[in-house]
Structure 1
Amino acid sequence: MPEFPYSRLSRWPDVEAENLQAWDATDELLVDRALALAAERGIGGAEIAVIGDGYGAITLALTDAGYRGIRVHQDLATGRRALERNADEAGLGGFDEHELDGDLLSGARLVLLQLPKALAELEEIADAVARWAAPDVVLVAGGRVKHMTLAQNEVLGRSFAQVQAERAERKSRLIVASEPREVPVEPPFPVRAEHDGLVLVAHGGAFAGPRLDIGTRVLIEQLPALARSQLRTNEPNRSQIAPKTNESVDFSGVVNVQRDAPTIIDLGCGTGALAVAYALAHPDARIIATDRSAAAVASARATIAANGVADRVTVSHDDAGSELPDASADVVLLNPPFHLGASVHTGAATRLFEASARLLRPGGQLWTVYNSSLGYRGEMVRLIGPTEQVHRTAKFTVTRSIRR
């Protein structure tokens, strides 16, 4: 059998760079092990599930080897689009995409997993496999050695009686788990927590879980300043912008100065904290929350329901708001990531700044919080327009940019 041409795979529409590729040695090890196990145990394609297949390398290599009916779950919208595009380019098909649920895993005898960064995400996946897959299922998980920890084995051990880490190959390692344990009646996720009247609900793969991460908190604290700003003017009134550094957040007491309800986009919404905080402060606003992570979208929807604002906030699983119309937003709220998977890379933030420029109407505002050391201000001036610092803490900076 000819070797699968991994090098032809693309990351598009995700960020592409010289130090970023669409597959790694872990993908190859998982495929090799899957082929061996499937042949040894008589496992067909419809009995194989793939989770966390970044850009489709695992799914397409197995499909190319003749396995049909493989079920695949990718958390990221960019990964899903990359898989579809790579499949079209290779002329391959015969796989089905699913969410992390019973449809993905029912009857699966072999589950292949690219290990996630977060232990909470791994816990939710392991529970799902033990809960829905066949009793004789084998879970083969893999990752780069430098990102693996003994805690991952411990998490898998909560759902499987047998967990065996194998020797490293090409700086990657496989962990084989079998004999699923009895699962609790209720799944361990989503979980919830309350923060001064704001309820957050989170699935395992959502950034920061049910916690209110520091950057988001800093931006929420500036919502009163956003309300005081002139949303319908191109030039900022600086006397209205500057907030008091010790000003507390009051979700119910902020009055919007403009007559027409604005359209607000929470870009990269995570668990929905910013969208919900704005909705609680602005009962008449139209708010759209969007994220490329399916776990984040599910969390945001649950957060919105828990706070009673489902009639005012909509959520979409999308790549940088690509399905939203141009010049449709009065305000974009943004807490951009500074990494892509396990790689530190500012390209993800750049894509969101570019998206903000497209989504904002002329004179609209981008409110951003970021780690001060990253120095995004010049890039926002270039891509969006005049940018000023609204607030700064020891670690974070909040800026407001006016769309040209």
Structure 2
Amino acid sequence: MSDFPYSRLRRFPDVEAENLQAWDATDELLVAEALRADAPGARIAVIGDEYGAITLALAAAGLRGIRVHQDLATGRRALANNARALLSADAVSGTGRVEGGHADGVADLPREDTAFTSHELGPELLSGARLVLLQLPKALAELEEIADAIARWAAPDVVVIAGGRVKHMTLGQNEVLGRFFENVQAQRAQRKSRLVIAAGPRPVAGTPPFPVVETHEGLTLVAHGGAFAGARLDIGTRVLLDALALGRSQLLQNGVEKAETARNGGFAEDSGGVSARTVVDLGCGTGALAVSYALAHPEVQVLATDRSAAAVASARETVRANGVEDRVTVTHDDAGSEIAAASVDIVLLNPPFHLGASVHTGAATRLFEASARILRPGGELWTVFNSSLAYRGELTRLIGETEQILRTPKFTVTRSIRRS
């Protein structure tokens, strides 16, 4: 077992709390198996390393050229922060993201003078990889996209060592792996974690199974495997769209706006009658809110941002599918950190209430705080949340005066006005 100082790892800039840590026993088991496999670092790909525990433990053991894919922007930043804190300057020098690809779909092997390089899920990450270490994702669709990518682009003799906490593992995960690999073998549980070994990649279809496409009342949604709700229009988003339409209707009745009400839009003016020109879909997922708003309001520029790379890739495809590339920009960011303070007229928000596998309100709070920072005085936050979470008091404290716009048996939609 590695003597790597796991206890020094931090989650920052992700939420940090006493009941949340930056590694678990699965990370340690994956590292131990990788070191026993004795594969060169340039032939190792790591997928789902939340805060760098796997990658940095291998790098500390002397491996170089490791390729890494992390979905979340917070994880990518935490990996970089932890690398600077725990690895030598020589090992960290030259690490970073590698963009671009090769026309023939084959990537060069990574440099072996740096500890790791970060990549999106694709041939640059997996070409020539003989060992893939995988923290099993919760969503089977995400696992399917990952398994297909490994079988499609990794070396023919690739071995996948996947792991997770026993309480979160399912037979469905084994079944998904079995569709892409000849041999799938679950190992004995240790310390409430379990590893699954997969080998012998099967032939894959000519085109990857993702992204998938669905159309909903004129709105086309495109989704990669890791995107929340897939290509469906999730119920919380539906309720927020209904509330936006209701808010627009109320403004029409008050004579503030003369345009026709749209079912899947929002309103174009704030409570003071000032035209909204900058709208942010914070935590955009597949881009349903951002694209719906842009379709309803051709005069508005919309920024859609999410910390999930799968969500960002999905939202960009959704934008293209609906023909609003000139009015919607999609970025991969953490809680709007790259958006200037007091620069936004309206924020649309359907916040998560999970951090990984843990139910935790900290994720929503970070997005409320981000909204407070980026909204101009008088700007509006429209948010939907599970009614049992009772966020209204927190929204009033962080943003300003908050009113309930719509309530269903399960969801509540509020509008908060940014105080001066």
TM-score range, shorter chain: over 0.9
Partner of 2:416: 401
Residue 16 of structure 1 pairs with residue 12 of structure 2: no
Cα 1:359/1:229, change in 2 over 3 Å? farther
CA distance in 1, matches of 2:255, 2:133: 54
TM-score (norm 1): 0.93
Partner of 1:233: none
Residue 146 of structure 1 pairs with residue 159 of structure 2: no
Output one character per residue of 1:303-323: Cα deviation in whole Å (capped at 9) or x when no partner.
000000011000110000001
- CA apart distance, 1:227: 3.6
Report the 3-state secondary structure (helix = DSSP H, G, I; strand = E; otherwise coil) of the residue aligned with 1:315. Answer: strand
Q: Which runs of 4+ in 1 moved over 4 A?
A: 237-241, 251-261
Output one character per residue of 1:350-394: Cα deviation in whole Å (capped at 9) or x when no partner.
000000000100000000000000000000000000000000111
* Alignment equivalent of 1:50, drawn from 46, 50, 65: 46
Partner of 2:286: 271
- CA apart distance, 1:297: 0.2
* Contact kept in structure 2, 1:114 and 1:141, CA below 8 Å: yes
Partner of 1:25: 25
Report the 3-state secondary structure (helix = DSSP H, G, I; strand = E; otherwise coil) of the residue aligned with 2:189. Answer: coil
Report the 3-state secondary structure (helix = DSSP H, G, I; strand = E; otherwise coil) of the residue aligned with 1:289. Answer: strand
CA distance in 1, matches of 2:59, 2:266: 56
Cα 1:132/1:2, change in 2 over 3 Å? closer
* Alignment equivalent of 2:305, drawn from 290, 294, 310: 290
- CA apart distance, 1:239: 6.0
Partner of 1:356: 371
CA distance in 1, matches of 2:417, 2:383: 12
TM-score (norm 2): 0.89
Partner of 1:234: none
Residue 316 of structure 1 pairs with residue 331 of structure 2: yes
Report the 3-state secondary structure (helix = DSSP H, G, I; strand = E; otherwise coil) of the residue aligned with 1:123. Answer: helix
CA distance in 2, matches of 1:373, 1:240: 35
Output one character per residue of 1:120-168: Cα deviation in whole Å (capped at 9) or x when no partner.
0000000000000000000000000000000000000111010000110
- Pairing 1:4-403 to 2, within 5 Å after superposition: 4-38=4-38, 43-92=39-88, 93=92, 94-227=115-248, 250-251=263-264, 260-403=275-418
- CA apart distance, 1:240: 7.9
Aligned length in residues = 388
Which amino acid in 2 is paired with 1:143?
G
- CA apart distance, 1:35: 0.5
Cα 1:331/1:158, change in 2 over 3 Å? same
Cα 1:173/1:283, change in 2 over 3 Å? same
* Contact kept in structure 2, 1:139 and 1:176, CA below 8 Å: yes
Partner of 1:245: none
CA distance in 2, matches of 1:254, 1:348: 27
Cα 1:73/1:2, change in 2 over 3 Å? closer
Q: Structure 2: state its 5+ residue gaps.
A: 93-114
- CA apart distance, 1:69: 0.2
- CA apart distance, 1:221: 1.3
- CA apart distance, 1:254: 7.0
Report the 3-state secondary structure (helix = DSSP H, G, I; strand = E; otherwise coil) of the residue aligned with 2:204. Answer: coil
Report the 3-state secondary structure (helix = DSSP H, G, I; strand = E; otherwise coil) of the residue aligned with 2:416. Answer: strand
CA distance in 2, matches of 1:240, 1:121: 47
- CA apart distance, 1:224: 2.4
CA distance in 2, matches of 1:386, 1:260: 20
Report the 3-state secondary structure (helix = DSSP H, G, I; strand = E; otherwise coil) of the residue aligned with 1:67. Answer: coil
* Contact kept in structure 1, 2:248 and 2:266, CA below 8 Å: no
State the identity %: 72
CA distance in 2, matches of 1:126, 1:352: 32
Cα 1:81/1:99, change in 2 over 3 Å? same
Partner of 2:110: none
CA distance in 1, matches of 2:5, 2:267: 57
- CA apart distance, 1:225: 3.5
Which amino acid in 2 is paired with 1:99?
E
Cα 1:58/1:253, change in 2 over 3 Å? closer
Q: What do you get for the CA RMSD once the two structures are aligned?
A: 1.9
CA distance in 2, matches of 1:253, 1:326: 23
Which amino acid in 2 is paired with 1:343?
S
CA distance in 2, matches of 1:249, 1:80: 39
Cα 1:160/1:261, change in 2 over 3 Å? same
Cα 1:395/1:107, change in 2 over 3 Å? same
Q: Structure 1: state its 5+ residue gaps.
A: 231-236, 242-247
* Contact kept in structure 2, 1:228 and 1:256, CA below 8 Å: no
- CA apart distance, 1:37: 1.0
Output one character per residue of 1:11-30: Cα deviation in whole Å (capped at 9) or x when no partner.
00000000000000000000
Output one character per residue of 1:188-227: Cα deviation in whole Å (capped at 9) or x when no partner.
0000100000000000000000000000000011222344
Which amino acid in 1 is paired with 2:49?
D
Cα 1:330/1:37, change in 2 over 3 Å? same
Report the 3-state secondary structure (helix = DSSP H, G, I; strand = E; otherwise coil) of the residue aligned with 2:415. Answer: strand
* Contact kept in structure 2, 1:255 and 1:281, CA below 8 Å: no
* Contact kept in structure 2, 1:119 and 1:152, CA below 8 Å: yes
- CA apart distance, 1:262: 1.6
